[in-house]
């Protein structure tokens, strides 16, 4: 049986991500890597992170899901309302534009065009990412499942990548364990370590906030092991 290895909310921390995979001794022939989204924003290497994720998906059979930051990056590059743009740059979007455009002091209009032209493959990859992955025992998703929906697959796309309290604070309506990121584990139980509940597991260790990047190893329904690497910086 393959190990399942789940990582979430890399947020441009490419160096920590590669170190974490090495620490867990990731082997594509023996492991199934599942990435839960938010590859961009805050950290210094969003483009490098996305390119490594693309490599892992295309060459190593990894499964990559979409996060809210990935979606908002796509919206801003393609053109969106001022509020979305403002929130994007308030939450680490400057570092993403610097990374993808290759220009530190950028003009927004020029940077958007540069990214659209030079990074079209990256954008297409992010655009096509699925919202969830499931097997016989677990559901993997960026943010969570809305308990108001008996058939969770019919919930709005926004819930898959944005939901917080209604999912974290309430029991799910599914029999499988839900593995998620988005809400940092420090916000849930005051620690950066992986959070285990009876029906869900939170793995976002807040690497971009100077905490740690977590990896969850799953060998069976209730067989878990965790790995982590400490962040090399803090970016808001």
Give the Cα separation of 108 and 100 in Å (integer).
12
Give the Cα separation of 123 and 73 in Å (integer).
9
- Which pLDDT score, from 0 to 100, does residue 105 have? 85
- Which pLDDT score, from 0 to 100, does residue 51 have? 99
Q: Which of 156, 147, 123 is CA-nearest to residue 200?
A: 147
Give the Cα separation of 130 and 49 in Å (integer).
18
Q: Is 223 exposed, middle or buried (0-12, 13-18, 19+ CB in 10 A)?
A: exposed
Residues 6+ apart with CB under 8 A from 185: 191, 192, 193, 194, 195, 202, 203, 204, 205, 206, 214
End-to-end CA distance of the chain: 39
Q: What's the distance, CA 82 to chain centroid? A: 24
- Which pLDDT score, from 0 to 100, does residue 235 have? 81
- Phi then psi dihedrals of residue 217, to 5 deg: -100, 130
pTM score, whole prediction: 0.97
Name the region of 26 (left: φ>0; alpha: ψ -120 to 50; beta: rest).
Answer: beta
Residues 6+ apart with CB under 8 A from 58: none
- Which pLDDT score, from 0 to 100, does residue 75 have? 96
CATH architecture of 3-230: 4-Layer Sandwich (3.60)
**Domain ranges within the chain, ordered by starting residue:** 3-230
- pLDDT per residue, tens digit, the chain (236 aa), is 789 999 999 999 999 999 999 999 999 999 999 999 999 999 999 999 999 999 999 999 999 999 999 999 999 999 878 899 999 999 999 999 999 999 888 888 899 999 999 999 999 999 999 999 999 999 999 999 999 999 999 999 999 999 999 999 999 999 999 999 999 999 999 999 999 999 999 999 999 999 999 999 999 778 999 999 999 998 86
CA dihedral 185, 212, 204, 210 (to 10 degrees): 80
Q: Is 156 exposed, middle or buried (0-12, 13-18, 19+ CB in 10 A)?
A: exposed
């Amino acid at each position: 049986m393959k190990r399942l290895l789940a990582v979430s909310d890399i947020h441009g921390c490419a160096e920590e991500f590669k170190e974490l995979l090495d620490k867990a001794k990731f082997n594509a022939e023996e492991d199934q890597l599942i990435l839960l989204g938010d590859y961009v924003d805050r950290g210094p290497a969003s483009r490098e992170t996305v390119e490594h994720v693309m490599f892992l998906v295309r060459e190593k059979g990894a499964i990559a899901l979409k996060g809210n930051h990935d979606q908002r990056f796509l919206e801003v590059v393609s053109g969106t309302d001022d509020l979305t743009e403002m929130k994007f740059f308030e939450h680490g979007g400057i570092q993403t534009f610097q990374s993808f455009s290759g220009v530190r002091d950028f003009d927004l209009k020029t940077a958007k065009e540069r990214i659209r032209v030079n990074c079209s493959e990256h954008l297409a990859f992010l655009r096509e990412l699925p919202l969830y992955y499931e097997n016989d025992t677990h559901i993997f998703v960026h943010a969570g499942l809305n308990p108001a929906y008996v058939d969770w697959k019919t919930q709005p796309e926004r819930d898959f990548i944005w939901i917080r309290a209604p999912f974290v604070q309430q029991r799910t309506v599914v029999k499988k364990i839900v593995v998620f990121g988005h809400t940092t584990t420090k916000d849930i139980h005051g620690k950066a370590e992986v959070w285990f509940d009876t029906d869900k597991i939170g793995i976002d260790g807040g690497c971009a906030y100077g905490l740690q990047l977590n990896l969850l190893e799953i060998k069976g329904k209730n067989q878990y092991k965790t790995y982590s690497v400490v962040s090399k910086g803090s970016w808001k």
